[in-house]
Structure 1
Amino acid sequence: MKKSLKYIAYGVITMTGAVASSGSMAADGTGNASAQIQQAISITENTAMDFGNTAVDASGGTVTISTAGAVSGPAGYTFSGSPAAGAFTASGDASTAVTISFTNGSLTGPGAAMTLNNFTHDAGGTPTTDGSGDLAFNVGADLVVNATQASGAYAGTYTVTVNY
């Protein structure tokens, strides 16, 4: 029995040494981390999009306003008034590339709602904020006039999204 205890004690000491020696093989390292915090972008509408006065025929069609505020449409339509492209200023980080996207809208009034879609902007292929963090741009779009559209005043909204 004494001999058995001697071997058990030796085994425990040997195992303790093995466990202790494996811990001495560990090493610590230092990881690096970084972050770039960007200012939230704000958007201000400077000029509301206005297609002006449009006289239409009974067939319906698409009226387009350019980013310069020029209105055009099907033969037989006439335009008057003071049309205006939408104008916006986005503010965020200085000298930073952004994307501009749109969500379709609609104009409602005395007749059926008219879809507002196919948006364009004049901020270029790679819009970038200036040294102050601002980006001014104009917006054009298509207005889909329904056949036999009722006359009257129509108004609505669309969404402009500017993102880093």
Structure 2
Amino acid sequence: MIQTALEETKRVKEAKGHQAGTQGSAIVAGYGPAGRIVGEHLEASGYAVTVVDTNPDTVLMRLERNKGAKFGNILDEGVLRNAGIMEADVLVIAIPDEGDAIEACRIARKMRGDLKIVARTNFLSRGLMAGEAGANEVVVEEVVTAEAMRDAVNRLMDRA
């Protein structure tokens, strides 16, 4: 019975495009510092990660390490399909351009209503827009910076 359940789980994952031995699959758009940290965390957690980036050196580096990577613009539905959006468990939009991040949320949500989307924006107002465009979670840089500054002040004041 347990073996049957395990085999069924494996079959479902493979049908969804998951590689054998992975927890699932993720797409990380933008592989700068933010995307790299999230991508490495996902890989360490057992996810098959496909990076989408417009920097050919980044894509080549990933491919040379036998890691998933696609060259292209995340706003292109063909690039998203090629990256595996129809099977992915999560899309991480770590690109620095807020307008493109919001549009990527809109496009991805239209393609997959059930996809988990995490997006990055610089400002709270744009974060709200990303949420309205389809992001399930938004990391807003000005909020994260404010929290880090508050914590730094608290550390300094505790030392005084």
Greater helix content: 2
Same fold per TM (> 0.5)? no
Greater strand content: 1
- Larger RCO: Structure 1 or Structure 2 (Cα < 8 Å, ≥ 6 residues apart)? 1
Q: Normalization by structure 1: what TM-score?
A: 0.23
Q: Normalization by structure 2: what TM-score?
A: 0.23
